[in-house]
Structures are given as structure tokens and as C-alpha cells.
Amino acid sequence: MMIARSKAWLLATGAAIASISPAFAAPATDMATADSAGTSPQDEIIVTAQKREQRLLDVPQSVSVLSGETLTAVHAERFADYFTRLPSASIVEEQGGQTRLILRGINTGGVGATVATYVDETPYGSATALANGSILTPDVDPFDLQRVEVLRGPQGTLYGANSLGGLVKYVTIAPQTDAVHYAAEGGIESVEHGNVGWSGRAAVNLPLADSAAVRASGFYRRDPGYIDDPRLGSNVNDGKTYGGRISALFRPMPELTLRGTVVLQNLNSNGTNTIDVDATTLQPVLGKYQHSRTVAEPNNVKYRIYNGTADYDFGAVNLIASTSWGTLDQAQIQDATGLYGAVLTESFGRPLGAPLDQRVRQRRFTEEVRLASSGNRRLEWTLGGFYTRERNLLAQSLDAVDANSGAPVADLAGLARTRIGSRYREIAGFANATYHISRQFDLTVGGRYSHNSQTTLQQTSGPLGGDSSIDGKSRDNVFTYSIAPAFKPNDHTTLYLRVARGYRPGGPNALPPLNPENADVPREFGADTTTNYEAGVKAELIDRLLSIELTGFYIDWKDIQLYTSVNGFGVNTNGGKARSKGIELTSTLTPVAGLSLSANGSYVDSRLTQDASPLVGGLDGDRLPYNPRWSGTLSADYSRPLSATVDGNFGISWRITGARRSAFDVNLGQYRLGAFSQLDAHAGVTIDRFRIDAFARNLTDSRGITNLGSLGSAPNGALAAALVRPRSYGLTVGVRY
């Protein structure tokens, strides 16, 4: 059901298409190490990684925190601006709205996500491998967020499905009843080799009474393009992103807090960030920032999240109930001419191109209820129940266009059509507890039992797809757990061990529409699991001027879900094992007031430990795709008063992404993708509540590859290679009250 490990299509002819500053990680407990807001090193970072508020230093697992001030200071607008600066984090991206997140190397290019995503209390995105969950990760605009929490390692106990490698959690700012607050900013950015983009954002907090308030924010962004197409024009990968959030809070009595939140975002991209490269040398076959397509390749994605949360304080116990409804709609065109154009031209006797029209619809309802102990007690516990139901539809149509003009050929529409409708239901119970054995020793344990059931209806039609209607069913029962003893020799040091398990649901398989009973494809594919063994230390040293987190981990990955092709039709399968091991470091030093020096980095060695399916091409010992063995970020930020009302700031960061391997490919094998680095800088002044800031990204104009398509992803035997954004310069003006 997916086009070569990234997209979803499945035809009966041919192989599937290839997929087609400040410190960024606060390692200890002070927000000043994570932002440039002028906070002192003694300010504590509070997180909800274990679904209760805790000091980051007290959480016995590896967590990075990106504060709202950090995201603003580095002009973050999308995942690519901040996610890869974190230890053991990488992305695979070829177009806006289509990003795969990887933590600790857990990735084989399958269609189910290995990193779960939450927005406050809402799990967002599909839990199944039947609706492109791995690449339709919600890239929420970070404006007006309180923070982003990134939890590395499996999180199956508290967060459930798809957290094989970790979790990304967006925490929005709750409405405040104390006073009116507002913020606004506008910016402009020019991309070298491309055009100019701009953005505008605003937020306001309005108290309605002593017990009620509402907060609203909105944004609009024009994204500059930098890829040219000799047929379609210049800067074909430009686009726009817009949306907003509104949240209302009401306390009808001191013990009860009610909050409702709506998140909306539209992301429209007009083309991919790919260039055409030689299949042997990976050198451009056209210009440095050029590709050639028969048709335009727009990708339009709509996110909608609706959540209501009630929190009742019984004194010794808190009751939290969260109800959510999330929707995602994608409409995308992919140019499949490189794969099917020659076949269609030969079959119909005229030069033809082959656009692939893909539509994805996700609808998900979630309910979670949990009880949690309150206050600082010898035994702190959380007990909860979880229910989710989702309906998904993936629909694709392969059509024909005139290869010279790109005009549709009416009598060749719908050469192959596929519709895969699926339903997913899951119910789970979970518990987590921390027992303070003594002032220095803690033990945290947790467990979760999950049951899910799925049904599918697969329909195909058209002369190349065959007429078929196939239904499927599956059930899974999974137990996940976590155990984490911790030793605290003093209030500023935590040493911990952690063993944790995560899982990704299996499901009914898509079957080749031509002779499905004779195809060697299982009717179901199973859940895969990761077991993480971790040891870490978090410490604040030199009177809290230095904070450091050092973590070592080893992950066993079993029954890996793989995506492959049978008779040209994409299917899921299980096969093989893998392991990932590595070391992560996050550190921040504040040697003098106003100066922050940070170093984040990781070494991750992730490999197959068993041959994958011969149709996939991975062998024992092969490195897992798109995971750099070495990566890291160095940054320095300095701020100081320039006068009684003016403060100045300057920041610079350098990040390196080590060499990686491309996706498994039975025809081409894995390519070695070279290392690259990016240098960013910003400088500005704050005048009372106004801010003016200039910034530059990728000052060295690095051309790193973030994704490489397989044979057929570009015309004439070339491959489509997605590049990082070229050098760019920008200016923002903002106000905050």
C-alpha cells in the first residue's frame, strides 16, 4: 500500500515508485540553558514526560526540551529548523507536509510511524500502517507554543502505539486569567537560488473573568522555493502554510478546570525539494537545483485537532479526562512518468506521462481517563484507561497525460485505481508508579496492556489495476512495560537505568489485485517491538553553571515491519531483526552572565542483525536507512544590556550530519550519502517589548541530501534526491506584552 517505503501505491505493472542561537536541548533543569529569554540558571524546567509535572532533572529517561523562547529565537518554522539539532534525531523529507521522523536510528522505511506525536493530551496521526502514518507526521507551526518535549527511546507504557523510537509532544500555552497578553511578529526571508518568502503571526490572551480566559493565535507563511524545472518554471517547490489555535479555560469551582482547544493548520506545497541526480555518481544531471517533471507535484495537507480536557482535584488524587477528535486530509499529485511513462508510451503508441493522484483521509477519536496521586508522596502513581477509534481511506489513481504538454488524456483516465478503507480500534489500560525508597533512591515501574482490532476493504479497478474487492481482519494483544531505578547523590545529580518496551500495531495486509490467492503474501502482518536498555546521568555542576546529560543505550528490534512490492503492488510484511546502540550527550555552560555555550551530539550504530525479505534487499549487517552514525550541534549565544531600555543578542550554531545510508533497495542497493554541515546565525535588539532580529541559515550553502528515491523516481534513469534548504537570510520584527 505504499510507494516504495514512503508513499502509498500499488499497481500491477512494474515496481513501486520510490519515496518519491541558543542551546536546543535543555539537559538539566534550567530554562535559561534552553532559551535566550534572560532567565537565570536557577529556573527549573518542568515537563510532563511521565504525564505529571516534574523537574526535568528528576525524569529517569532521556528527554530534550525546546522552550517557546528557543523556537522563537532561532526562527523555527518547521521540523527541519530544530529537530535535527537534538541528539540521535534525524528526518527524511522531500516535500513540505511529508516528513519522516527518526529517533535512535529506528527506521527501515516502513509505512507505519516509529515516532509517536502528541499535541497536549491528543495522540495525533494514524496508529496503523494503512494510512501513511510514517510520512504524514504533523509538522505543527511552533509559534505560541509553551515547549516541545522530545522523549528518546520507547514510550509504550504511557503513550502507546508507534513510540518504538520515541515521542514528540507539543505543549501549547494554556489561557491565563491574570491579565491581557499579546504577541505579534512579521518576517521576510530570501533564499539563495530561489525567491522571497514572508510570514505573519499574532496571539492574544483575554481574561473573561477571574475563572475564565481565552487564548487565540494565528499565522500565515509564504515559503520560498528554490527548485527550478525547465518545463514547469522557477521555484516550483514554493508554498504556503496557515492556521491557528484557540483555547478556552473555565474554572467553575476551585477544584475543577475545564479546557477546550482547537488546532487548525493547512500546509500547501507546490512541488518537491528534489533534484535529478545520476544513478551512479549522485551528481546533478541538470542544474544544481533543477529537476524535470511532466506534471506539477502539489501536496496539500489539512490538520484539525479538537480536544476537551477536565481536571478535578480531589486533594490526594487528581482525575484527568481527555476527549479528542483529530482529522487529516491529504491531496497529492506525484509524477510517475519515470516508472510508467515508457510502458504507457509503448502500449498506446504515443508519448505519455503518468501522474499519480493520491488522497488520504484520517478521522480519529480518542478518550483517555486517568487518576494520579497529588503532591510529593513516598509513592506517586498514575492509573489510566485509553480508547481510540479511527477510520482511514487511502485512494489513488494512475492517469495518463500528453508527455509534451502535460495535458490530461481523457480516454486514459483511471488506468489503475486503488481504494483501501480501514478501521482501527484500540482499548488499553496502563499504570505507572514511582516509589521513593529513600531520599536518594527511586524506582519507577509501569505497564500497559493493549488490544486492537482492524478491518479493511481493498478495492481496485482499471485495465492496469484489475478489478477486485478484498476484505481483511486482524487482532493484536500487546503488553509493554518500563522499569527505571534512579540514584540521586544530591539535589543536582541523577543517575538512572531504564528498560522499556514499545510496539507498533500490525494489521490486515493489502493483497495484489491480480491473482491475490496465488501471491505469497500473508493476509496479516504482525506488530513489531523494540526493547530499550539505557543508562544515563543528569547533573548540574559548578554551582549550576554547567548542566550535562550523558546517555548510553542499546535497542533490540524484533519482527520488523517492512514495506515491499509483490507483482508491482505494495504490501507490508514482517522480517528480520535489528539493533541500535549509541551514546547521546547534551551539555550547556554559562561561564558569565548572558553567555551560553552548548554542545549536543550522538553516536548511533543501527544495523540489521538478520536478513530482511529478498524483495526488500536488506542483509544482515546493513545499516538502517537515514541514520547518521555521528551527528552534533555546537552553539553559542550572548546577550547583554546596551542601555537602560535596549538589550542586544547574538547567536551562532554549527551542526553536522554524518554520512548515512539510503533506503534498502533490491535493485540498486544502499547508497552512501555524504556528511554535511550547516552554519546558522542570528543577531538583534530588544527595545522594551519590541524585538528586531536578523538571521541567516545554512551560511555555507551546504547541499546535503535528506532523501533519495529509487529507480523510476526521476525520468531517464535518474534518481530524485531531496536537498536541504540553500543559504537564506531574513529579518523579523516582533512585539510581546
By CB atoms closer than 10 A (0-12, 13-18, 19+), residue 430 is buried
The residue among 36 and 57 whose pLDDT is bigger is: 57
| Rounded mean pLDDT, 38-53 | 70
- Percentage of the chain with pLDDT > 70? 92
Is 431 a residue whose pLDDT tops 60? yes
Is 80 a residue whose pLDDT tops 70? yes
Residue from 557, 596, 587 nearest 574 by CA: 557
40 CB contacts (<8 Å, ≥6 apart)? 30, 32
Is 644 a residue whose pLDDT tops 50? yes
| Rounded mean pLDDT, 695-705 | 96
| Interval 209-254: pLDDT, tens | 999 999 999 999 999 999 999 999 999 999 999 999 999 999 999 9
Cα angle 116-118-123, degrees, rounded to a multiple of 5:
80
Terminal Cα-to-Cα distance of the chain (whole angstroms): 50
| Interval 444-489: pLDDT, tens | 999 999 999 999 999 989 888 788 888 999 999 999 999 999 999 9
| Interval 577-626: pLDDT, tens | 999 999 999 999 999 999 999 999 999 999 999 998 887 888 999 999 99
Is 195 a residue whose pLDDT tops 90? yes
pLDDT at res. 466:
80
Is 16 a residue whose pLDDT tops 70? no
Hunting for cell 525508597 — which residue is that?
A: 437
Is 538 a residue whose pLDDT tops 50? yes
Burial pattern 656-691, b for ≥16 Cβ within 10 A else e, equals bbbebbbbbbbebebbebebbebbbbbebbbeeeeb
Dump strand ranges (E) for 287-440.
299-313, 317-335, 352-353, 355-373, 379-398, 401-402, 416-436
pLDDT at res. 10:
35
Residue 634 C-alpha cell reads as 555546537
Report CA-CA distances (Å) from 553 to 152, 154, 165, 714: 10, 11, 12, 39
Is 23 a residue whose pLDDT tops 70? no
Is 332 a residue whose pLDDT tops 90? yes
Residue 283 C-alpha cell reads as 551528481
| Interval 485-534: pLDDT, tens | 999 999 999 999 999 999 999 999 877 765 555 556 778 888 999 999 99
Q: pTM for the whole thing? A: 0.91
Q: Domain segments of the chain: what residues? A: 31-736
The bridge status of strand 595-608 relative to strand 577-589 is antiparallel
pLDDT at res. 542:
93
Is 5 a residue whose pLDDT tops 80? no
Hunting for cell 485495465 — which residue is that?
A: 463
Q: Does domain 31-736 have CATH number 2.40.170.20?
A: yes
User: Cβ atoms within 10 A of the Cβ of 212, count?
Assistant: 16
pLDDT at res. 72:
87
pLDDT at res. 510:
76
DSSP for 288-324, written as a single string: TTB---SS---EEEEEEEEEEEEEEE-SSEEEEEEEE
DSSP 8-state symbol, 38: -
Compute the mean pLDDT over every residue in the chain, rounded to the nearest whole number. Answer: 90
Residue 289 C-alpha cell reads as 537545483
DSSP for 196-242, written as a single string: EEEEEEEEEEEEEETTEEEEEEEEEEEEPP--BBTTTBS-TT-EEEE
DSSP lists the bridge partners of residue 636 as 597, 652
Burial pattern 184-198, b for ≥16 Cβ within 10 A else e, equals ebebebebebbeebe
pLDDT grade for 131, boundaries at 50, 70 and 90: confident
Q: Would you say 422 and 507 are in contact if contact means Cβ atoms under 8 Å apart?
A: yes
Is 28 a residue whose pLDDT tops 70? no
Q: Indicate the SS3 state at residue 435.
A: strand
Is 33 a residue whose pLDDT tops 70? no
DSSP lists the bridge partners of residue 607 as 579, 623
User: Cβ atoms within 10 A of the Cβ of 480, count?
Assistant: 27
pLDDT at res. 132:
83
pLDDT at res. 562:
87
Sign of CA dihedral 459, 462, 466, 467: positive
| Interval 654-693: pLDDT, tens | 999 999 999 998 888 899 999 999 999 999 999 999 999 9
* 411 alpha-carbon distance from chain centroid: 40
pLDDT at res. 32:
32
pLDDT at res. 380:
95
Rounded Cα distance, 658 and 320, in Å: 43
Amino acid at 344: L
